Amino acid sequence: MNKRAINRLKVVLAERSKTNKWLAEQLNKNETTVSRWCTNEVQPSLDTLVEIGKLLGIDVKDLLNSTLDEK
């Protein structure tokens, strides 16, 4: 099964010079959970994505990869 990169969390954190550890602390989540989000192993809830967007000062849609180019 091919794992789709649904979120751009890893890229956005790198662009903002933030770490998984920083995000985990801000959200009061386990670092392993954040790591699994960053590798697209699992996805954060929509509410969590909104919270991440607020923390990073970006629109939640900027945390997601477009699905328009899929065939």
pLDDT given for residue 3 in this prediction: 65
Does the residue 66 lie in any domain? no
CATH number for 53: 1.10.260.40
pLDDT given for residue 27 in this prediction: 98
Residue 69 has pLDDT above 90, yes or no: no
Does the residue 38 lie in any domain? yes
Burial label, 7 (beta-carbon count in 10 A; 0-12, 13-18, 19+):
buried
- In Å, how far are 9, 17, 71 from 47, measured between CA atoms? 15, 23, 28
DSSP string of 2-14? PPP--B-HHHHHH
Does the residue 4 lie in any domain? no
pLDDT given for residue 1 in this prediction: 47
Report the predicted TM-score, pTM, of the whole model to 2 decimal places: 0.87
Residue 44 lies in domain: 9-59
Report the greatest alpha carbon distance in the chain. Answer: 38
Does the residue 19 lie in any domain? yes
Domain count, the chain: 1
pLDDT digit string (tens) for 6-59? 999 999 999 999 999 999 999 999 999 999 999 999 999 999 999 999 999 999
